[in-house]
Structure 1
Amino acid sequence: MTHVNVSPAQHLRAPNSSRLVPTADWRPIEIDDLEPTAWDALRDCGNVAVVAGPGAGKTEFLAQRAAYLLQTGICPWPHRILAISFKRDAAANLRRRVTTRVPDHAERFVSMTFDAFTKGLLDRFSPALPADWRKKEDYEIRYATDSDVSRFLNDTATVAPVALRYHIAALQSAKFLANIVGGHELPKSAWAEDPADPVEYAVRAWWSARYLREGSAYVDFVMINRLSELIVRSAPQLRRALRVTYPFVFIDEFQDTTSAQFSFVESVFGNGNGPTVTAVGDSKQRIMGWAGALPRAVERFTTTFAATSYPLAWNFRSSDELVQLQHVVASALDTQSLPAISKAIAEVGHDPAVIWQFPNASREATFIADWIARDIAASGRVPADFALLARQKIAEFEPLFRAGLALHGIGVRNDDEAVGKMRLQDLLKHDATRLLLGLFRLAAEPRGLATVWREVSAILTRIDGAMDDDLALRQVGEKLAEITNSLRSWLKLNPPTKDSVEEAVCYLLDLIDREALHRYVKAVTPGEELDVVIDAFNARIANVAEAGGLWAEVFERFEASQAVVLLTAHRSKSLEYHTVFFLGLDDQQWWSHERNRSESISTFFVGLSRAAHRLIFTTTTTLARTGKIADLFKMLDAAGVPEIVHK
């Protein structure tokens, strides 16, 4: 096997030891304080499970724990902290917070998604797979639909031994990949004989048809997780290298961990004498059961890793009235749930929570658009303070709300919109996007963008590996000035058109060195492809350029940072808004509520807990109270949420 090197391709520089802070003197950075339980968890030297509900500041806690470990030398140079999240935007947000709080140590904080981490291992260390699992050809990522899986199970049952056919055909296609394929550890030697167990037989057939086939292998991220775990299990030196490189591991949103992911974490980082693992999660926010999230994953981690549990009680986001509503819903998920303590400053002069009933969708959109416009005019709030949130099918709301808000000069940004092979929310949070868009904005608007300048400078610094080097930092500043000056001249000569926007992206990539950016993306988020981001970036900028205008207007429409956000409850996790409109409280939006009430109520809980001061539920039917989601209305009634009928 080739030499094992799991470190990103950046030059690490030893920090000045005089800058290390004694543990007794360390204080939180950029915040006033932590709650007492958070202090205990932060200082704990062993594995910890932090149970953090909505608004508890779990991302901030992880950022502060990283700062504590790095600044005190508990995580000594050149060792690193690995932070694993389940969403790109969560990984990017945590990385930015740590970079802001401890810039001198930021290069030793590696934040990425679970899928990016495991895909990176497979891409780099596939030669370490046992002989039976090595492929000469590359693999293709292909996702199987529920009908694909159902057809596969039926075909497999047809050719299976008679005694196994009924049991294979009875397997649930919706749970086969996540729970069954994901829950089975791959043997080091591929199956020599047909297994006698029907589940094992179906798993073997799946791997034979998708991965061990002639030609390119077809894999999804469940299979990638299993293959990565097999690599690490088969290569002890790689496992040792990972554990030495990352003596501290953070895992966010642990309640959404799948069987394959939990098995991977246990195999790579568990089994004693491993890294110190910090898991953060809240079982009440488990909304990925459909994707195979384990029941009671946080509790399972606590047992498996002998971790100490620390429940956080403070809520920094929501007013006291909204926290009380959240507790009513939380109690439906966990009767032992304790009420959180609001640390937010409450506003007066409005109902913190209310239900609005409308006769139809058109009246709903018109009324809400007018209401938002009046509220902005009266309060000085901005459109980005408002979120339009729904259970699913968010695109169905977009046309009416976009038209209604446009009458007031207010934009809408659909964060769930597909852009190339990405979703808009993921594209806007990606470091490559932040860099390209930031440089474009600095070139088009040379004044008044100090925050953008700092963000772009920080990313260029990480790309060039210039951390903690005064000369290199000055060179980064000079490079940034040169890039923006050259780009500004180009933009002046080439006004935005359908053709020039793509040419502008190519020109900028040449200025910043596309290969350097590619290496940075591969280093920071192994498994993520820069080309996918660039394709999505081009698709987005071409779309927003169609409206015409100056370059500065094109870039503003690209980000739409001052638009009302339209998003699903799933995509709203970890976000917060002053006012949330929870649209579509009806049986159509919540058609699957009766299939899995616990997960559906968790989704309801996640969505409503995004609001800091105002939460407005809407419905366009009088039948919802007695339909499939009658229990949701009962919770709102129990919390004293009033209802207003709009004609």
Structure 2
Amino acid sequence: MPPIGLRAGAATRICRPAPPSCTQMISASPTPLETDVTADAEQQRAIDHLEGPCLVLAGPGSGKTRVIVERFIALTRRGFPPEQQLVLTYTNKAAAEMRERAEAAHGPFAGEPPLTTYHAFAYRVVRDWGWLAGTSPAVRIADAAERWLHVAAVLEELRPHTLWNPLRPHDLMDPLLAVIGYAKQELVPPEAYASWAVQHLETCADPAERMLLERHREVADVYRRLDERYRRHGVFDHDDCILYAERLIREQPAVRSAVAGRIRYVMVDEYQDTNFSQARLVETLVADHGNVLVVADDDQSIYKFRGASRANLERFSRTYPNHVAIRLTHNYRSTEQIVDAAHAIIGGAGPATRIDKQLVADRGAGAVVEVWEADDGRDEVRAVATRCRELLDEGTPPNDIAWLFRQHVDMQPAMHALRDAGVPYQVSGGRGFFQEREIKDAFALLAAAEDPGDSLALLRCLTLPAWGVTNTGRLALVRATRDHDVDLATLIAGARIDDLDDIDTAAARRCVDDVVDLHALAQRDDVRDVFFAAMERSRYLGVLDEQSGAARMQVGANLNKLADLLETFADWSDDRHVSKALAYLQVLRDSREAGELASIEPIEDGIVLLTAHGAKGLEWPTVFIARCTAHRWRGRPPLSFDLQLPDELVPEAPPEGDAAIDEERRLFYVAATRARDRLVCTWAHRYPGSIGEEERTPFLETVVGAAARGVDVPATGAPMMRPARASGAPAPQRLSIAVSDLRTFKECPRRYEYQRRWQLPVRAGVRSWYGSLMHQVLHQAGTQRVAGVTVDGDVVAAQWHSAWDASRGPKGRHRDLRAHGEEQLRRYIASPAWSEAVIESVEEPVGLDLDAAHVRGRFDRVDRGAGGAPTVVDYKTGNPHDEPSLRRDLQLRAYAVAAAQRARADDVAVEFHYLHTGDVTRVVADRKFLNTAYRHLALTAQDIAIATREGVFPPKPSRWQCTHCDYRTICDEGIAAARESA
């Protein structure tokens, strides 16, 4: 049955359970934390630990996440609220899982989530307090492409003798970024690095050693100049955020009081992967009380070669000699067979490289671990794909199966085998962005727009669904260009072509006409305009023709990433023509990070394909580990022999043994311990590109025959052809949506689908860019007000110009907005809305839990109103709206309900401050308004959940909306409305 408001003219209503009122939700007591079993004695000891430092050694499946979450809840119930606690972890996924489990027991958190990642926490500190170190209000984290370009610019500028090769200028870019990043992580500033190199050069006589030292000196120089460039451009990388956050807390009393002073307890997940700068940040946060609990497993340290597992734990013991040590020794995840096999794998490491431990399986013996041996790689992947299909036919849910790989490149043959077997799958991460079909199609369109005479580019464009010339037609065109010795565009625009039917002729000419129009646009506008025009003409490269929803999402995410890369280029280059942009993208092909696929959240069930690194922290009933050969799983050499940070500069001593191979063994151990019920390791004697016979990884030598059974995989001749399962069932998940998503869906569900679900890129308008810049300035100004600093017109004007200079966006085409923005800000700062306000907080994130979704947003500002009642302030750069219209606005309703929940109040106020005119529109929300607003929000969220589950997002066509919609060229109703209005 369709949800309300989804189908135009529909009279059907959804029968929904009545949502609770806002007041009921505000007064509801927290739900008790539900767990399957009570904590064991070791876990309970960690949960109950209260004062002082504590180290919890926790092996795979021993319940470390449970310990952290339950301790968090226990401390809350003891009277230490969430804002007095901080839980740090490494990945957004791990942080989100912990927050979800904690909020199930506690309810939504007010303010910044207290369970977060290192980088998110550090960026928050820099964002709120960086003004004390002179950072711009528009400071941002540079993406991979921007970091790469900064290094390229420094190399071009310095042309260091041992690092610069004009014929291959980018060969050392990734190693340079790696060594500079490692120097930051180990708190080695460029001055110390350069000083070390110069001192050794003064006493070194060996020519080879001197050349290596000279290279180190040049790396230090690049490091210094790169830092200077970052500051000039108002950007940080993630390592900078950690450094600056720690320094601000340590050196600035106001920051120490506001940040560290309010945190009574700190917990750290995956402490074995903490680098030196992160460890220093934790130590600085708890310097006054020492209440830190860290959870670690030295056997799962997989992120650096220098033995961080033992070094971090030894550093913790030295820093806190009187710490409490607790071991979690029961594995509740895996069967006994898997636990024994995993112990055999990790037990092969040298005793000096790890803390010896033996986990006890809690689930019984289970199925024996299997090691499959195949003649070649094709037989290996086909055997796994066949077994996956059999498991699915037996009723196993697809996402109960994971196929893990050492390298992304090994996923390609696996994906082909799964497609042949008709098995749905989902790929997490991976490289090959520039090899994706849609990216090559976009490149071809841009190249044809730059030069319509580029026959190869135009020939690829003809294959796109918007024009769709058949294979026969394209072959006829190729033959004709050869026979007539003309380019393809000239041929198509000319006389009739033999062997080309009328349909293909019409399609080819439409394509040429569109390319010629794009060429005219490319002569006068920058590449961003050409790109979005190309997306419109090609109907987003036919993304909606993809049969799988996951495939559409990946295409949309990749196109979004390409749009971001072009935005970076436009901010970087004074010449923004298509030819320059294509050259820039060609350079980025050499970058490891820029070549990563855009990440997406799975929306369908499917076999999970990901790397062993990406699998950390996850688990599945059935796990296959691919290509378990000595070539893939034996350790890897460093990026370059002479581009490694010298051991003498690293605070911790180098580990004993072969660090690379030990880390590789730990990575294999991590992969094996992801399995709950079945573990299968597969390998083959030959792979494409192999030199001679491959051998089984030595990590399995102690497993086969003792803890695992060998299985010979029979050779398969022809590829399997099974009836395809085009896609899996929708993946069950709780919706997490933004406040703006509610409004978008209400206006048009189809637009919500294109924007939110498929992530199709749209032009970044000048209004949204300008509004974002104004918000950044007022955020910094508000933070200063909260800290007791006087902020007048001159201060905010200086902040505005700093933000303008550091910002990315269309400022070059709208220079008049610089003076306009200063004028608006001066007028606003002089108004009572600013000068008389009692500001409590700025940029405060808020969450609104509805039955069908979690709605997230951010208050621009919260003031203390008359009588102490909270007033939410939202800055607007558009034209004012009156109170009656705002009372119907979904954003205002969401903010009012969230503010009421935050303050546990029945009356709150929301004000929209219009910077353009200085007007303020105030809406007072009483109990009746809040209850009504909550019901409307809950119903809208439920409609979104139903549409997402059913995959049905019908449009709400209207002449005004459709003609102004960014997606009008790919929506049939939008096209019809545009024609009507023309």
Instruction: State TM-score, norm by structure 1.
Output: 0.64
How far, CA to CA, are the matches of 2:138 and 2:621 in structure 1? 51
How far, CA to CA, are the matches of 2:543 and 2:69 in structure 1? 34
The equivalent residue for 1:314 is 330
The SS at the match of 1:359 is: strand
The equivalent residue for 1:258 is 275
The SS at the match of 1:602 is: helix
2:361 maps to which of 342, 365, 374: 342
How far, CA to CA, are the matches of 1:367 and 1:407 in structure 2? 12
The answer to whether the aligner puts 1:234 opposite 2:234 as a matched pair is: no
Q: Is the 8 A contact 1:137 1:216 kept in 2?
A: no
> Kindly tell me: are residues 54 and 137 of structure 1, through their superposed partners in 2, closer, same or farther at Cα, counting changes over 3 Å?
closer
Q: Is the 8 A contact 1:243 1:274 kept in 2?
A: no
Displacement, 1:197? 5.0
The answer to whether the aligner puts 1:211 opposite 2:227 as a matched pair is: yes
The equivalent residue for 2:289 is 274
| Structure 1 residues 194-224: Cα deviation after superposition (integer angstroms, max 9, x where no partner) | 7865699778735530122483155422222
| Structure 1 residues 428-469: Cα deviation after superposition (integer angstroms, max 9, x where no partner) | xxxxxxxxxxxxxxxxxxxxxxxxxxxxxxxxxxxxxxxxxx
How far, CA to CA, are the matches of 1:419 and 1:111 in structure 2? 33
Displacement, 1:32? 1.6
How far, CA to CA, are the matches of 2:29 and 2:681 in structure 1? 51
The equivalent residue for 1:455 is none
1:404 maps to which of 417, 434, 439: 417
> Kindly tell me: are residues 110 and 568 of structure 1, through their superposed partners in 2, closer, same or farther at Cα, counting changes over 3 Å?
same
How far, CA to CA, are the matches of 1:302 and 1:100 in structure 2? 34
The answer to whether the aligner puts 1:36 opposite 2:41 as a matched pair is: yes
The equivalent residue for 1:305 is 320
The SS at the match of 2:704 is: helix
How far, CA to CA, are the matches of 1:180 and 1:104 in structure 2? 39
How far, CA to CA, are the matches of 1:113 and 1:338 in structure 2? 28
Q: Is the 8 A contact 2:89 2:270 kept in 1?
A: yes
> Kindly tell me: are residues 109 and 138 of structure 1, through their superposed partners in 2, closer, same or farther at Cα, counting changes over 3 Å?
closer
The equivalent residue for 1:633 is 700
Displacement, 1:28? 6.3
* Matched residue type, 2:252: A
The equivalent residue for 1:331 is 347
Q: Is the 8 A contact 1:388 1:583 kept in 2?
A: yes
How far, CA to CA, are the matches of 1:624 and 1:613 in structure 2? 35
The equivalent residue for 1:644 is 711
Displacement, 1:314? 0.8
Displacement, 1:70? 1.1
The equivalent residue for 1:92 is 96
| Structure 1 residues 44-78: Cα deviation after superposition (integer angstroms, max 9, x where no partner) | 112211111111121121111111111232x1x47
1:620 maps to which of 647, 662, 684: 684
Q: Is the 8 A contact 1:318 1:342 kept in 2?
A: yes
The SS at the match of 2:628 is: coil
2:184 maps to which of 181, 184, 190: 181
Q: Tell which structure's C-alpha radius of gyration is larger.
A: 2
The equivalent residue for 1:500 is none
How far, CA to CA, are the matches of 1:625 and 1:284 in structure 2? 33
The equivalent residue for 1:51 is 57
* Matched residue type, 1:141: A
Instruction: State TM-score, norm by structure 2.
Output: 0.44
Q: Is the 8 A contact 2:629 2:683 kept in 1?
A: yes
2:74 maps to which of 68, 71, 81: 68
The equivalent residue for 1:611 is 675
> Kindly tell me: are residues 112 and 224 of structure 1, through their superposed partners in 2, closer, same or farther at Cα, counting changes over 3 Å?
same
Displacement, 1:357? 1.2
Displacement, 1:98? 0.9
The answer to whether the aligner puts 1:220 opposite 2:237 as a matched pair is: yes
The equivalent residue for 2:662 is 598
How far, CA to CA, are the matches of 1:179 and 1:153 in structure 2? 23
How far, CA to CA, are the matches of 1:37 and 1:552 in structure 2? 42
> Kindly tell me: are residues 642 and 83 of structure 1, through their superposed partners in 2, closer, same or farther at Cα, counting changes over 3 Å?
same
The answer to whether the aligner puts 1:564 opposite 2:607 as a matched pair is: yes
Displacement, 1:591? 6.2
Q: Which runs of 5+ in 2 are unaligned?
A: 1-25, 163-171, 201-212, 435-539, 555-599, 639-659, 715-982
> Kindly tell me: are residues 627 and 148 of structure 1, through their superposed partners in 2, closer, same or farther at Cα, counting changes over 3 Å?
farther
> Kindly tell me: are residues 317 and 628 of structure 1, through their superposed partners in 2, closer, same or farther at Cα, counting changes over 3 Å?
same
> Kindly tell me: are residues 369 and 44 of structure 1, through their superposed partners in 2, closer, same or farther at Cα, counting changes over 3 Å?
same
* Matched residue type, 1:50: V
How far, CA to CA, are the matches of 2:149 and 2:661 in structure 1? 21
> Kindly tell me: are residues 377 and 286 of structure 1, through their superposed partners in 2, closer, same or farther at Cα, counting changes over 3 Å?
same
* Matched residue type, 2:341: L
The equivalent residue for 1:573 is 616
> Kindly tell me: are residues 158 and 362 of structure 1, through their superposed partners in 2, closer, same or farther at Cα, counting changes over 3 Å?
closer
Summarize the alignment of residues 404-483 of structure 1 with structure 2, pairs less than 5 Å apart: 404-417=417-430
Higher relative contact order (CA 8 A, sep 6+): 1
How far, CA to CA, are the matches of 2:712 and 2:150 in structure 1? 42
How far, CA to CA, are the matches of 2:693 and 2:314 in structure 1? 35
How far, CA to CA, are the matches of 2:695 and 2:239 in structure 1? 33
Summarize the alignment of residues 183-202 of structure 1 with structure 2, pairs less than 5 Å apart: 183-184=186-187
Q: Is the 8 A contact 2:348 2:699 kept in 1?
A: no
The equivalent residue for 2:402 is 387
How far, CA to CA, are the matches of 2:543 and 2:30 in structure 1? 47
Q: Is the 8 A contact 1:81 1:109 kept in 2?
A: no
| Structure 1 residues 240-267: Cα deviation after superposition (integer angstroms, max 9, x where no partner) | 2212332122211111111221122222
The SS at the match of 1:578 is: strand
How far, CA to CA, are the matches of 1:106 and 1:320 in structure 2? 43
Displacement, 1:376? 2.8
* Matched residue type, 1:326: A
Report how many residues are paired.
Answer: 481
The answer to whether the aligner puts 1:377 opposite 2:393 as a matched pair is: yes
> Kindly tell me: are residues 363 and 221 of structure 1, through their superposed partners in 2, closer, same or farther at Cα, counting changes over 3 Å?
same
The answer to whether the aligner puts 1:244 opposite 2:248 as a matched pair is: no
The SS at the match of 1:585 is: coil
Q: Is the 8 A contact 1:186 1:230 kept in 2?
A: no
> Kindly tell me: are residues 403 and 156 of structure 1, through their superposed partners in 2, closer, same or farther at Cα, counting changes over 3 Å?
closer
Q: Is the 8 A contact 2:630 2:697 kept in 1?
A: no
How far, CA to CA, are the matches of 1:248 and 1:580 in structure 2? 37
How far, CA to CA, are the matches of 1:387 and 1:616 in structure 2? 11
Q: Which runs of 5+ in 1 are unaligned?
A: 1-14, 22-26, 160-168, 422-540
> Kindly tell me: are residues 589 and 553 of structure 1, through their superposed partners in 2, closer, same or farther at Cα, counting changes over 3 Å?
closer
Among the aligned pairs, what percent are the same residue? Answer: 20
Q: Is the 8 A contact 2:619 2:676 kept in 1?
A: yes
2:132 maps to which of 128, 133, 156: 128
* Matched residue type, 2:96: A
How far, CA to CA, are the matches of 1:588 and 1:291 in structure 2? 21
Displacement, 1:97? 1.2
* Mean Cα deviation higher: 409-418 or 286-295: 286-295
> Kindly tell me: are residues 136 and 344 of structure 1, through their superposed partners in 2, closer, same or farther at Cα, counting changes over 3 Å?
closer
How far, CA to CA, are the matches of 1:207 and 1:559 in structure 2? 38
How far, CA to CA, are the matches of 2:182 and 2:309 in structure 1? 9
Cα RMSD (Å): 4.4
The SS at the match of 1:332 is: coil
Displacement, 1:338? 2.3
* Matched residue type, 1:258: N
| Structure 1 residues 372-399: Cα deviation after superposition (integer angstroms, max 9, x where no partner) | 2222323x21111111101112x4323x
> Kindly tell me: are residues 635 and 240 of structure 1, through their superposed partners in 2, closer, same or farther at Cα, counting changes over 3 Å?
farther
> Kindly tell me: are residues 78 and 553 of structure 1, through their superposed partners in 2, closer, same or farther at Cα, counting changes over 3 Å?
closer
Q: Is the 8 A contact 1:83 1:109 kept in 2?
A: no
The SS at the match of 1:620 is: strand
Q: Is the 8 A contact 1:369 1:405 kept in 2?
A: yes
The equivalent residue for 2:302 is 287
